[in-house]
Amino acid sequence: SYELTQPPSVSVSPGQTASITCSGDKLGDKYACWYQQKPGQSPVLVIYQDTKRPSGIPERFSGSNSGNTATLTISGTQAMDEADYYCQAWDSSAGYVFGTGTKVTVL
């Protein structure tokens, strides 16, 4: 099976930069995307195809993917960005795989 590993938690001060990693075997050879999920809500797509932002997602969200690691970066983090974040990729054997999830806390 294919696995994607994320740090359980990331803490960031308001206005600073938060980086969330997602590690998987040869992940850079696949497309990665990222979802934000706030308590009691459905997930929201924030990054797709490694680096692209859907309409309506603030520019402070950016992504990269190379080697075995995809990264979601939140620049100028705001209190409203406090949420759980999940990476996702498609594996030809396992299907769609989600990362383990990262809770971002804005202190």
Partner 1 sequence: QVQLVQSGAEVKKPGASVKVSCKASGYTFTSYDINWVRQATGQGLEWMGWMNPNSGNTGYAQKFHGRVTMTRNTSISTAYMELSSLRSEDTAVYYCARACSGGSCYYDYWGQGTLVTVSS
- In the complex, the residues that contact partner 1 under the rule CB under 8 A are 1, 30-31, 33, 35, 37, 42-45, 48-49, 54, 86, 88, 90, 92, 94-101
Burial class (CB in 10 A: 0-12, 13-18, 19+), 65: buried
Residue 60 CB, shortest distance to partner 1, in Å, is: 20
Residue 28 CB, shortest distance to partner 1, in Å, is: 13
DSSP assignment letter at 75: S
Q: What angle do CA 44, 87, 96 make, to 5 degrees?
A: 95
- What CA–CA distance (Å, rounded) separates 47 from 76? 17
Cβ proximity to partner 1: between 43 and 69 the closer is 43
Cβ proximity to partner 1: between 16 and 90 the closer is 90
Cβ proximity to partner 1: between 39 and 80 the closer is 39
List, in order, residues 6 or more apart from 38 with CB less than 8 Å away. Answer: 82, 83, 84
Residue 94 CB, shortest distance to partner 1, in Å, is: 8
